[in-house]
Structure 1
Amino acid sequence: MEPFSFILLELAVIIGMASIGRGLALRFNQASVLGELLIGVLLGNIAYWLGNPLATVIMHLDDAQRLLEEVWRTGSSINDAAMHVFNANELAEGGISQELISFIVGPHAMDTLLMTMTLWLFSNLGVIMLLFMIGLENSVTDMIKVGKRSLFVSIIGVVAPFSLGYIASSWFLPEVSTPTHLFIGATLSATSVGITARVLKDLDRFKSKEARVILGAAVIDDILGLIILAIVIGIVSTGSVQIADVSQILLLSIGFIALVLLFGEKTVGWLVSKFYQVFSKFQVKLLFPLALAFLMAAFTSFIGLASIVGAFAAGLIVNDEHFGDSKKRSQHCDENGNFDYSPTTQELINPIESLFAPVFFVLMGMQVNLKTFLETQTIWLAVMFTVVAIIGKLLSGLAAGKGVNRFVIGIGMIPRGEVGLIFASIGKGLGVIGDDVFSAVVIMVIITTLISPIVLKWSIDRTMVKKV
């Protein structure tokens, strides 16, 4: 059987399981990301315990990447490369090194590597599409219009959990490096406001003052979080905290965002008008935004920033007004008097994102080894991360000032969801976050994703009862 057949089967299983997880989560009124993550944990651990080669490589994907990169970089054999990548315990009989090598050079090694690369590719595309869609839901105008209240909430919402996370990590994990502490702090500073937005919409509170503060703060929070992520990645790359390198990354981040805010929308509008002279409206509305997202993601990666920064920025500067649409769905009457419904860019790209993004969450779940949950260290880390994650965002609510329900705003900023997972996965891929920390982060994400909608709904209902 040709390798492509195995890839098709693999994708069918992953996408099918993601759909099941999403369906179950929605059935119990939970965020779909939670179901995709949990189904990945279940699928990955069962396959790993059964000794499946693909599940083993995915469970230790960061180690496999480092090993293969060493082989490709030096041209040495797998065994020689392993001597440079793994420590003595990992190289010992029964260690992770021997387990990986047996699958990477075994009789079905080509099939395993091709399937792993396919999942890795789909997963990375999923992250880029996800951040692009988040950008599409906002706009440069939204960024500019947010008031001081949202600005203060977002700054405290990033600084507080980042600082608390760094301090707690230094206390609980004194043996790890400074870049690891920084990455943990950055992961805890992330916010996924999509869950909150859905709760506010379901409760018909989407236009309340609290909702506007939360959503406005979330826009700035995304930018601040991505800038922090870019700076931390730069620090990890250099191996130490160097002022010159940090300053360079900070200036690049600010310069890139400034150019996007000042000239992004006008440039996109001009380009779209030129493309309309050559291509049909449907082609431009679908293909131009995708090409722009990939181009800007590649550009930010090239200059040393995270590719997701470019994808998010691309979403910010694309809006339906560039394509002649002023409403969610533009309606045009043809010559026969029939309405022609033209879908928005977001509606066109949403099915593509829905295909790729779940692969990312399932893959993240498959890298969580449930054995680490039995370790006292992991449990304590998970408790510490969760407490810091909640306290840090509740503090941000205090910065909202008077005239609003500060507790509602703080709760609304708590969910980490997919953004926290993205940060953690980047850290795991760079080798600065180990299995125990990654598992603890996943537990934190699950808890904050579960409790936030419940507490937020209770708090809003309680506020409305008091007003009555």
Structure 2
Amino acid sequence: MFSARSQGPTAGLSPLLRRPRSSYGSIALCALIACLAFTWLPPVANTRADDAAKPAVAVESAAGQTPAAATEAAHDHSAETESHGDHGADDAHAGEHKEEHAEHHSPVAPLLAAIVMVLFGAKIVGDLFERIGMPAVLGELFVGILLGNLAYLTGMFGPEFHGIDFLHSPAEGSIGNPYDPGAALKMLAEIGVVLLLFEVGLESNVRDMLRVGASSMLVAVLGVVAPMLLGVGVGWFFLPDRPFQTWLFLGATLCATSVGITARVLKDLGRSQQKESKIILGAAVIDDVLGLVVLAIVSGIIQQAGQGGEFALSSLLLIIGKAFGFLFAAIVVGSIAARPTFKAACYLQGHGLLLATSLVICFGFSYLATLVDLAPIVGAFAAGLILEHTHYQELGKKENIELEEAIKPLTALLVPIFFVQMGVNVDLSSFLTNPSVWALAGALTVAAIIGKQVCALGVLEKGLNKLAVGLGMIPRGEVGLIFAGVGLSLRMPLTPGGPMEPVVQTSTYSAIVVMVMVTTMVTPPLLKWSLGRPTAEQAA
């Protein structure tokens, strides 16, 4: 279905071929920059390995040796070096070449090369996914999966390519190089997810949430409780050797709904004003709030276990109180202080005051959330939730820009880095070496879909399409990925006195990502089909 304006010489071409010529030039320029970035790959890829190897060699040669033994070992090493002859000379020459190469390049060059590759791939593939009717976030996630598993994929057909292994985040506590591109990308991704939740909060409204009907509230509550219980059950059945906290976190990842994906489908269909659509969107927003509270509670339980604390009802009540108390205090204090803050910023000179003031509030609330042991994203969401147009319209008129438009350049840069980084953490080899990962991914997907169908029972009005309401609550999208990423960062001892280990293993994380991708992909066609069919009352 094309409008009359689309009829012309290019009307019969695919949307990809109707791209303006200027866009082709932009793609060609990005491709050239990406190719140039690959010229940095050999020295970049070896930097982390070399940094890790140097102290290891020193420790191995010196540990447990007396001075005499060390001297004897040195003589043996000298003799061995002489026996290698020209081979040792070649190694020395290679080392000199490498040092010379490092001297001629800025230490920040690896990070710049990494950002070029990540953004280039994310934008191009994300655009392709949008053209086939899929969310761009799936394309960005797909790019991350390819980049993170390139060595494994190339090894299936020939020698493994380790040229971009530096995109992986280094192990916790092992960052020796301050310019490590993987560590820097991880920090940029953390800021990106904070901005993403700030943006989600801006699109929500406290008054609208308070005005939603009983159906939306009941749908939201059932949409959290049912998937949570099913997720815990899946963890108990498929991961019996993992602690209860892992099962609990699996349940938490199934709670939230991606309101953005459903809202876009409803808008494209022209059904945003239907009663079913209003119930879905109202419930999805409340779902996000409840999901963040559940995440805060589960994270608090895991952190307490990581500190060796005993689980008690009083501790659970304290965690719940902190989560709800922070959101309530943030809304009350923020609503009072937001308008005077922006009004005071109007008296300052300079450009970008609207963006700067908003970021101060966003990052400030994120920091305050960490002080009460909550995730920074909870504070960012609260900051976006309290900011209304009336708070910053005066400053917006002065700078002739809206807040949503002002933060778009930042989110366009940092949010794709977050989704690509989430894809890099997926381990494709686990699906072949451990077939049970497929079973776990399938079970999580089924639980995610069934759990959201249960919430349709909360629709109280007669004659409405309950199936459409349940299907509209299915997609996990970016919210599910955020929850999964938090699970990778949380650590606790699996046995009393044991070492700290991730609550969510890489294989489990990979299964969660599959669930997120499937639920996000199936929702648009299912929702279109459901809204197009008559209800039982209409058919009668």
TM-score, structure 2 normalization:
0.73
Deviates more, 1:380-389 or 1:188-197: 188-197
Shift of 1:367: 1.1
Higher helix content, 1 or 2:
1
**Alpha-carbon distance change, 348 to 466 in structure 1, aligned in 2, over 3 angstroms:** farther
User: 5 Å matches for 1:60-459?
Assistant: 61=169, 64-68=170-174, 110=177, 114-239=180-305, 241-279=311-349, 283-324=352-393, 342-374=400-432, 375-403=434-462, 404-430=464-490, 431-459=502-530
Q: Summarize deviations over 1:50-74 as a string: whole Å, max 9, x none.
A: 352752772xx4xx43342xxxxxx
Shift of 1:467: 6.2
**Alpha-carbon distance change, 360 to 57 in structure 1, aligned in 2, over 3 angstroms:** closer
CA distance in 2, matches of 1:325, 1:173: 55
CA distance in 2, matches of 1:402, 1:42: 46
- Residue in structure 1 matched with residue 33 of structure 2 by the alignment: none
- Extract unaligned runs of 5+ from structure 1: 69-103, 333-339
Shift of 1:234: 0.9
Q: Summarize deviations over 1:63-87 as a string: whole Å, max 9, x none.
A: x43342xxxxxxxxxxxxxxxxxxx
Identity of paired residues, percent?
A: 39
CA distance in 1, matches of 2:223, 2:336: 31
CA distance in 1, matches of 2:377, 2:144: 22
Deviates more, 1:453-462 or 1:157-166: 453-462
Deviates more, 1:46-55 or 1:360-369: 46-55
CA distance in 2, matches of 1:405, 1:128: 35
Say which structure, 1 or 2, has more relative contact order (CA 8 Å, 6+ apart).
1
CA distance in 1, matches of 2:442, 2:394: 48
- Residue in structure 2 matched with residue 93 of structure 1 by the alignment: none
Deviates more, 1:427-436 or 1:233-242: 233-242
Q: Summarize deviations over 1:234-263 as a string: whole Å, max 9, x none.
A: 111111533232221111111111123334
Q: Is the 8 A contact 1:54 1:116 kept in 2?
A: no
CA distance in 2, matches of 1:285, 1:57: 34
**Alpha-carbon distance change, 56 to 377 in structure 1, aligned in 2, over 3 angstroms:** farther
CA distance in 1, matches of 2:422, 2:126: 15
Q: Summarize deviations over 1:69-107 as a string: whole Å, max 9, x none.
A: xxxxxxxxxxxxxxxxxxxxxxxxxxxxxxxxxxx7xxx
Shift of 1:321: 1.4
Deviates more, 1:398-407 or 1:196-205: 398-407
User: 5 Å matches for 1:455-466?
Assistant: 455-463=526-534
CA distance in 2, matches of 1:354, 1:463: 40
Shift of 1:342: 2.7
Q: Is the 8 A contact 2:166 2:181 kept in 1?
A: no
- Residue in structure 1 matched with residue 120 of structure 2 by the alignment: 16
CA distance in 2, matches of 1:289, 1:191: 26
**Alpha-carbon distance change, 66 to 286 in structure 1, aligned in 2, over 3 angstroms:** closer
Instruction: Calculate the aligned-residue CA RMSD, in Å.
Output: 2.3
CA distance in 1, matches of 2:409, 2:273: 27
**Match of 1:208, as an amino acid?**
Q
